[in-house]
Amino acid sequence: MTTAVLKIYGDIGESNPLGELFDGVEMISAKMVSDFLDKRKNTDQIIVRINSRGGDVQEGWAIHDLLVNSGKKIKTIGEGKIYSIATIVFLAGEEREIMSNADGLIHNPYIPPYTLADQYESEDLIRIAESLKQEEEKILDFYASRTGAEPAKLAEYMKEDTKLSARDMLDLGFATKIIEPVQAYAYYKPNISKMTENDVKTFGQKLDSILDKIKNFTRLPVTDQTITDKDGKEFTLQKEEGSPAVGDKANPDGSFVMSDGRTIVIEGGVITKIEEAAADPDELAKAQARIAELETVVSELEKAKTDYEAKQAELTEKENALKDEEVKVAALAKELQGLKNTWKPDSRTKFSSAEKVGDVNIARVRELHEKIKNQKSE
């Protein structure tokens, strides 16, 4: 991939040799950017390095559109200042990196006083106001669609000249990455052997706190929260959203017991401690009694389950035994039927005393009859 670097180091606007001579500020025009692109038709990527106070709104839009429609991959890098209409050029990048010490600045468009003529009629002023309003809405809509930030929040920031730190630019969606500069440094090596364990821990905590403040530095105004405790006492939490946390700035100093039982301690304008609510002895006793009650219920259910399973096993055993007896009865009945079919008695008196009549064993018949009778009685 071939890459070319375009530097927008100066104000954005049409070239003005006299102004550059007296003001010492180089003007970056859309024509200069167009000529730059024409000479690099075979370049795949353009890296646009920006350090600009802004300038002419229409010229800024023209530069943005030239970059976006160039057919090349555009990457922008914010260095020093990305102010006013320069933010529009910055947003032309697919990747938008910003140096950690750079700043952005957004505001509503306006007409500089030195461009105004001596006289305006009312209709002229109305047209100027309408034109400015349209441009304001155009820029706001573009910011919101490109960054994903809330339009209402952006509009509030644009009412004034609002400076944005590198962290703000990233959080609001203007930038996609913060570049940390490579630094040369000298350091002092403390005599660790003379430091106690508590000294080392305290030093580490202070260092972490300092680094965290640098990392999360913001130029945006903080919207405070007013929080009321269960007794009606109020304190101010200096952050826009979220619950109180140790290390947050707050005032006044004191202890505040919240409705959930937590105690928030503020000392020196900072929340130093958040104590969780102590357990209510009565509630604890009720909970323990309820646990014991539930454990008893569980024990009874387990016993009932064991008894049920034993009863089921017993019934299954009896059912199987009954099936076995039914098979035996059926066999006896079948055998008896066979004897009945083969018996041909000679006389009644002979049958009553004889042990065998023809081929039929009378004793066996009596035995089978008794078994069947006993089975039925059971």
**Could you tell me if 142 and 163 lie in one domain?**
yes
For residues 33 and 52, the answer to whether their CB atoms sit within 8 Å is: no
Tell me which residue range forms the domain holding 271. Answer: 222-275
Any domain includes 271: yes
Per-residue pLDDT tens for 337-359?
776 666 555 554 444 555 555 55
Residue 53 has pLDDT above 80, yes or no: yes
* pTM summary value: 0.54
User: In 10 A of CB 211, how many CB atoms?
Assistant: 10
Any domain includes 198: no
Can you tell me the mean pLDDT for 165-169? 94
Non-local CB neighbours of 359 within 8 Å, separated by 6+ positions: 342
**Could you tell me if 230 and 292 lie in one domain?**
no
Q: Rounded CA gap, 259 and 230, in Å?
A: 5
**Could you tell me if 233 and 360 lie in one domain?**
no
**Could you tell me if 266 and 330 lie in one domain?**
no
**Could you tell me if 333 and 262 lie in one domain?**
no
Question: Which tokens is 25 given?
Answer: 């500020």
Per the model's pLDDT, the better-predicted residue between 299 and 377 turns out to be 299
Mean confidence (pLDDT) of the chain: 82
Per-residue pLDDT tens for 132-143?
889 999 999 999
Any domain includes 293: yes
Q: Rounded CA gap, 306 and 304, in Å?
A: 5
pLDDT for 354 equals 52
**Could you tell me if 26 and 161 lie in one domain?**
yes
Q: Rounded CA gap, 264 and 262, in Å?
A: 7
Can you tell me the mean pLDDT for 285-300? 89
Question: What CATH number is associated with residue 125?
Answer: 3.90.226.10
Give all strands (DSSP E) within 124-280, no chain letters. Answer: 162-165, 177-179, 225-228, 234-237, 250-251, 254-257, 263-267, 270-275
**Could you tell me if 52 and 160 lie in one domain?**
yes
**Could you tell me if 38 and 133 lie in one domain?**
yes
Any domain includes 159: yes
**Could you tell me if 236 and 317 lie in one domain?**
no
**Could you tell me if 123 and 14 lie in one domain?**
yes
pLDDT for 61 equals 96
Q: Rounded CA gap, 193 and 313, in Å?
A: 77
**Could you tell me if 147 and 227 lie in one domain?**
no
Q: Rounded CA gap, 100 and 82, in Å?
A: 12
**Could you tell me if 262 and 321 lie in one domain?**
no
Any domain includes 57: yes
Per the model's pLDDT, the better-predicted residue between 172 and 282 turns out to be 172
- Using the CB atoms, write b or e for 45-84: b if 16+ within 10 Å: bbbbbbbbbbbbbebbbbbbebbeebebebbbbbbebbbb
pLDDT for 215 equals 57
Strands 95-99 and 73-83: parallel
Any domain includes 190: no
Under the banding of pLDDT at 50, 70 and 90, the label for residue 204 is: low
Any domain includes 19: yes
Any domain includes 73: yes
Question: Which tokens is 288 given?
Answer: 């323990």
Non-local CB neighbours of 35 within 8 Å, separated by 6+ positions: none
Question: Which tokens is 320 given?
Answer: 């199987």
Helix 122-147 with 151-158: angle, nearest 10 deg: 130
Please tell me the total count of domains within the chain.
Answer: 3
> Of 84-88, 118-122, 283-287, which gets the smallest average pLDDT?
118-122
Q: 160: helix, coil or strand? A: coil
